[in-house]
Amino acid sequence: MTNFSELNISESTLRSIKRMGFEEATPIQEGTVTFAMAGRDVLGQAQTGTGKTAAFGIPLIEKIDPKNPNIQALVIAPTRELAIQVSEELYKLGYDKRVKLLSVYGGQEIGRQIRALKNKPQIIVGTPGRIQDHINRRTLRLDEVQTLVLDEADEMLNMGFIDDINAILENVPSDRQTLLFSATMPPAIRKIAETFMKDPEIVKIKAKELTMENIEQFFVKATEREKFDALSRLLDSQKPELAIIFGRTKRRVDELSQALGLRGFLAEGIHGDLSQAKRISVLRQFKEGKIDILIATDVAARGLDISGVTHVYNFDIPQDPESYVHRIGRTGRAGKSGVAVTFVTPREMGYLRIVEETTKKRMTPLRPPSSEEALVGLQEDAMQSLVELVQNNDLGTYRELAAKLLENNDALDLVAAALKSITKEPDATPVSLSEERPLPMRRDRSQGGGGRGRGGNDRNRGGGNRGGGDRRGGDRRREGGGGGSRSGSGSRDGGRREGGARREGSRDRRPRPRRED
């Protein structure tokens, strides 16, 4: 690792970096900063959680002329949450230079954004739909933009944002510098690079595996019906500090959060049908540890940096390996360790193997504890805490109470009763989840081309309405934003697609909505 001071970075930015607590530059930062500060376009790939934001953020901040009141840099991100997070990181990086910055995304009142735009921000971070909306309203002028960043460009492509991005770029000078980043580089990214970039320098951090080594990866083979009990026993035994559970559809997320709530877990769901305010508040509670389990569709999988996520559970195996990489990458960030557990039904095993081929890493089979084993584990915890209390030696008046109890009771019975009362016995409250249809049988990635085989027939095969799920999650392009446009924000985009729709309720055969939705 290299010290930031060796990278020709100005004093003010170095001060900001230091304040952020970064000591040494990560490899992607070293490579990107060097090439980007020399004016080159950069296509950057490095594993999840390795600091790609600052990798583009530092050269971007360095290039801003604080005396120039125009918008000099534009950062486009696929989801609202990510736009907010990236703008926070840029704000910190640009703090000492007094750089002015604004984030614009769907679901937030557009009038407020228009007023804020009049304050002459120098950097805009936003989601594609809302940026375009501002361009159409002539409230955003991009003709002085010198740096363009596409964070998670392949995801934006998957979400169907290509037209929006093309339209945005028509308003950005062609002699700009373009920086493009992701942890995965599926084939489609090459097309984006050719379309949007000039002779890009590819900064690819070589790693044996696509996923981080410090994430332990397991899989649990279980039928659809067994999955929930297996999950709740695993949560009891693994006791994650903060966990993210990914589900395939919005319905799934809602049902899982209710079911986990019934079993006494502090869990909340997040997906694109929730209002923006709700999404932000759930994320905040999770970051503050007020809830310890976040259940999400892929909306949270891209780029979100929440420190302290110890476990990621894929309650439903993702359809494509790239999603897997981004999902599990929410743990094991910035050098920390993490655990990822993927549930897979017997007929989905082919998907598991495809994921393993892509990541070049085998997952270890894991058998969740039986309910008896789970009970034993929890009883051991109870014993441990009793022993610790004894060792702490501050039982005060409790000793007198104990002496009184011992006058009329058997000592063994008393200790057993104390243990029983503090053991958190596994909660077997019955819950009902609608069954998700397993992914179609598939043993190879023959769809090629688009990297994730968008809209492939097998994705829709066997469609039909099951348990009402399609009514809620049927439109894969709308995930992430429906709430925004319907909540009367006055925006045509309403953030309609921001948030990772494509895999949610994708069994609907309805044609995709046009972009005015």
- According to CB under 5 A, which one of 40, 52, 333, 477 is a site residue for Mg ion? 52
Contact set for Mg ion, span 294-313 (CB under 5 A)? 303
Q: How far is the CB of 48 from Mg ion (least distance, A)?
A: 8
Q: Is 44 in the site for Mg ion (CB under 5 A)?
A: no
Q: Is 480 in the site for ligand ATP (CB under 6 A)?
A: no
Q: How far is the CB of 303 from Mg ion (least distance, A)?
A: 4
With contact defined as beta carbons under 8 Å apart, do 449 and 187 qualify?
yes
Residue number with CB closer to ligand ATP (41 or 305):
305
Q: Is 180 in the site for ligand ATP (CB under 6 A)?
A: no
CA distance readout (Å), 461 to 423, 440, 455: 47, 8, 11
Residue number with CB closer to Mg ion (47 or 491):
47
Q: Which helix (H) or strand (E) holds 54?
A: helix 52-63
Residue number with CB closer to ligand ATP (29 or 276):
29
Name residues whose C-beta falls within 8 Å of residue 388's C-beta, 6 or more positions apart in sequence: none
Q: What is the DSSP string of 145-213?
A: --EEEEETHHHHHHTT-HHHHHHHHTTS-TT-EEEEEES---THHHHHHHHH-SS-EEEE---SSSS-T
Residue number with CB closer to ligand ATP (22 or 95):
22
Residue number with CB closer to ligand ATP (305 or 493):
305
Residue number with CB closer to ligand ATP (44 or 129):
44
CB neighbour burial string for 351-378, b if at least 16 within 10 angstroms, e if fewer = bbebbbebbebebeebebbeeeebbebb
Phi and psi at 161, nearest 5°, equal -90, 5
Instruction: Report the 3 state secondary structure along 479-497.
Output: CCCHHHHHCCCCCCCCCCC
Q: How far is the CB of 459 from ligand ATP (least distance, A)?
A: 25
Q: Is 303 in the site for ligand ATP (CB under 6 A)?
A: yes
Residue number with CB closer to Mg ion (303 or 494):
303
Spatial distance between the Cα atoms of 418 and 398, rounded to a whole number of angstroms: 13
Q: Is 30 in the site for ligand ATP (CB under 6 A)?
A: no
Q: Which residue is nearest to Mg ion (CB)?
A: 303
Structure tokens at 169: 């770029």
Q: Is 95 in the site for ligand ATP (CB under 6 A)?
A: no
Spatial distance between the Cα atoms of 196 and 517, rounded to a whole number of angstroms: 26
Residue number with CB closer to Mg ion (110 or 149):
149
Q: How far is the CB of 473 from Mg ion (least distance, A)?
A: 26
With contact defined as beta carbons under 8 Å apart, do 331 and 242 qualify?
no
Residue number with CB closer to Mg ion (82 or 293):
82
Segment contacting Mg ion by CB under 5 A, of 46-54, 88-96, 119-127, 276-284: 46-54
Q: How far is the CB of 294 from Mg ion (least distance, A)?
A: 18
Q: Which residue is nearest to ligand ATP (CB)?
A: 51
Give the count of residues interacting with ligand ATP (CB under 6 A). 20
Q: Is 183 in the site for ligand ATP (CB under 6 A)?
A: yes
Residue number with CB closer to Mg ion (181 or 343):
181
Q: Is 327 in the site for ligand ATP (CB under 6 A)?
A: no
Q: How far is the CB of 110 from Mg ion (least distance, A)?
A: 26
Contact set for ligand ATP, span 41-80 (CB under 6 A)? 46, 48-54
Residue whose structure tokens are 């925006």:
491
Strands (E), 323-370: 338-344, 364-365
Q: How far is the CB of 329 from ligand ATP (least distance, A)?
A: 5
With contact defined as beta carbons under 8 Å apart, do 73 and 100 qualify?
no
Strand arrangement of the beta sheet that strand 147-151 belongs to = 101-104, 123-126, 73-76, 147-151, 177-182, 42-45, 201-204
Q: How far is the CB of 172 from Mg ion (least distance, A)?
A: 21
Q: Is 318 in the site for Mg ion (CB under 5 A)?
A: no
Name residues whose C-beta falls within 8 Å of residue 214's C-beta, 6 or more positions apart in sequence: 332, 335, 336, 337, 338
- According to CB under 6 A, which one of 22, 116, 239, 361 is a site residue for ligand ATP? 22
| Residues engaged in binding ligand ATP (CB under 6 A) | 22, 24-26, 29, 46, 48-54, 183, 303, 305, 307, 329, 333-334
| Residues engaged in binding Mg ion (CB under 5 A) | 52, 303
